[in-house]
């Protein structure tokens, strides 16, 4: 079996950074280098002993995004960074870098981000993202959502609206959930989980042209790094991120893990919201409907995968026929966004 650095994770608690990787004495010693760009990580931070598979230290660059290169004696080199960005006003703004493709390459860090709504970003958050070089913000929210909670300016990043509005077949008003709770109308969203299952099915074909726009923007020079976002960063952004990862050659299992990560990152926030709402709910069915709307569930994204298979037979045909991403453009995208480390 090939000796290789793997299972690398960079996590944060306050100002402390913790890096861990697979435990294997065959790797030998591991050196850790840091930098403020994935292309410039020349400063050595530490060197571990044989058999050591983790390292903890104070943030070497507070307020700035740091990239880490791990070089092992016998197991190659890997680049890593924090998955979730340490922002004060967003718990679900994250980097899609580092995911492995089925052919053994990795998505480049620092180019593709996904997020929830941005209205809560603080001044220091906006400065942090500006320092990340953010060039483009793709907003999937409907126009009325964007007007209600407008995005802040982040440096010179362009803001592009790609509105996706999926209504329940049972309910077609633009009333928000709090209004529906106050008027005892949550039942109009249908049984628990139904609306988001149907929404993911509709993303596939009804909104394919929206994702054509996404890929055209990605292929246009000068638009990276970019972030795609919606309201909670889980449904519209979840599907947009999923088909982007599929186009880059990431496995469905890894994509599903990325999709479900929203639940972990938003758990505390969502439970606080639910705790404040619970006294207004009149029955358990309303609770189930609301909780289902706030979660990312495997069956939601799987419904989209199944719809792609049913209508097009393969992700390759879906991307080419429905989204307009030809094999040539797909290779161009992979050449731009994939790396060997």
Residue-wise pLDDT tens digits, 287-306: 888 889 899 999 999 999 99
Q: Check whether 182 has a pLDDT greater than 80.
A: no
Give the SS3 label for residue 93. Answer: coil
Kindly state whether residues 78 and 151 are assigned to the same domain. no
Q: What is the crossing angle of helices 284-294 and 194-205, to 10°?
A: 30
Give residues with Cβ within 8 angstroms of 146, minimum separation 6: 139, 161, 163
Nearest to 1 by CA among 16, 22, 20: 22
Kindly state whether residues 289 and 180 are assigned to the same domain. yes
Rounded to the nearest integer, the mean pLDDT of the chain is: 93
CA distance 196 to 79: 35
Kindly state whether residues 49 and 130 are assigned to the same domain. no
Neighbour count for residue 115 (Cβ, 10 Å): 23
Q: What is the pLDDT of residues 219-268, one digit of tens each?
A: 999 999 999 999 999 999 999 999 999 999 999 999 999 999 999 999 99
Q: Give the per-residue pLDDT at 167.
A: 64
Kindly state whether residues 67 and 216 are assigned to the same domain. no
Q: How confident is the model at residue 176 (pLDDT cuts 50, 70, 90)?
A: low
Counts for the chain of helices (H) and strands (E), in that order: 11, 14
Q: Which domain holds residue 5?
A: 1-82
Domain boundary among 82, 107, 133: 82
Q: Residue 225, preceding bond cis, omega within 30 degrees?
A: yes
Give residues with Cβ within 8 angstroms of 304, minimum separation 6: 200, 201, 203, 204, 239, 242
Kindly state whether residues 280 and 140 are assigned to the same domain. yes
DSSP state of 132: T
- 3-state helix vs strand vs coil in the chain, percent to 5: 40, 20, 40
Q: Give the per-residue pLDDT at 286.
A: 82
Q: Give the per-residue pLDDT at 290.
A: 85
**What's the predicted TM-score (pTM) here?**
0.94
- Identify the weakest region by mean pLDDT among 10-14, 50-54, 179-183, 274-278: 179-183
Q: Give the per-residue pLDDT at 168.
A: 46
Q: Give the per-residue pLDDT at 169.
A: 39
CA distance 24 to 328: 40
Kindly state whether residues 14 and 101 are assigned to the same domain. no
| Parallel/antiparallel/unpaired status of strands 338-339 and 106-107 | antiparallel
Kindly state whether residues 295 and 219 are assigned to the same domain. yes
Alpha helices by DSSP H, the chain: 123-131, 143-148, 177-182, 194-205, 208-219, 236-248, 252-277, 284-294, 298-312, 315-317, 327-337
Q: Give the per-residue pLDDT at 177.
A: 64
Kindly state whether residues 157 and 221 are assigned to the same domain. yes
Give the SS3 label for residue 109. Answer: coil
Domain boundary among 20, 54, 82: 82
- Identify the weakest region by mean pLDDT among 40-44, 207-211, 251-255, 284-288: 284-288
Kindly state whether residues 62 and 99 are assigned to the same domain. no
Kindly state whether residues 301 and 163 are assigned to the same domain. yes
Q: What is the pLDDT of residues 111-163, one digit of tens each?
A: 999 999 999 999 999 999 999 999 999 999 999 999 999 999 999 999 999 99
Kindly state whether residues 68 and 105 are assigned to the same domain. no
Q: Check whether 209 has a pLDDT greater than 60.
A: yes
CA distance 96 to 75: 23
Kindly state whether residues 31 and 129 are assigned to the same domain. no
Q: What is the CATH number of the domain that holds 249?
A: 3.90.190.10
Please give the tally of structural domains in the chain: 2
| Parallel/antiparallel/unpaired status of strands 136-139 and 226-229 | parallel
């Amino acid at each position: 079996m090939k000796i290789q650095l793997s299972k690398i994770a960079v996590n944060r608690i306050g100002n402390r950074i913790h890096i861990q990787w697979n435990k294997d004495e065959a790797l030998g010693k591991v050196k850790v280098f840091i930098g403020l760009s994935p292309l410039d990580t020349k400063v050595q931070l530490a060197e571990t002993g044989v058999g050591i598979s983790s390292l903890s230290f104070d943030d070497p660059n507070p307020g700035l995004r740091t990239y880490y290169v791990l070089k092992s004696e016998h197991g190659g080199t890997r680049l890593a960074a924090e998955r979730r960005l340490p922002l004060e006003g967003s718990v679900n703004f994250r980097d899609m870098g580092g995911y492995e493709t089925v052919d053994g390459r990795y998505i480049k860090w620092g180019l593709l981000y996904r997020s929830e709504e941005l209205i809560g970003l603080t001044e220091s958050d906006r400065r942090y993202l500006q320092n990340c070089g953010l060039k483009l913000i793709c907003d999937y929210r409907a126009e009325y959502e964007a007007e209600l909670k407008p995005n802040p300016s982040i440096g010179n990043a362009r803001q592009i609206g790609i509105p996706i509005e999926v209504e329940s077949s049972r309910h077609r008003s633009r009333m928000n959930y709090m209004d529906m709770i106050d008027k005892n109308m949550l039942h109009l969203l249908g049984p628990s989980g139904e609306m988001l299952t149907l929404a993911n099915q509709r993303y596939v074909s009804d909104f394919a042209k929206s994702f054509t726009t996404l890929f055209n923007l990605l292929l246009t020079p000068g638009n990276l790094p970019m972030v795609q976002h919606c309201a909670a960063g889980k449904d519209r952004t979840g599907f947009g991120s999923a088909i982007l990862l599929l186009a880059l050659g990431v496995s469905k299992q890894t994509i599903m893990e990325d999709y479900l990560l929203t639940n972990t990152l938003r758990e505390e926030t969502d439970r606080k919201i639910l705790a404040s709402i619970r006294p207004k709910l009149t029955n358990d069915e309303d609770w189930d409907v609301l909780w289902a709307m706030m979660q990312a569930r495997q069956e939601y994204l799987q419904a989209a995968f199944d719809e792609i298979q049913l209508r097009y037979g393969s992700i390759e045909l879906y991307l080419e026929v429905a989204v307009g991403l030809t094999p040539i453009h797909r290779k161009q995208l992979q050449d731009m966004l994939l790396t060997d480390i």
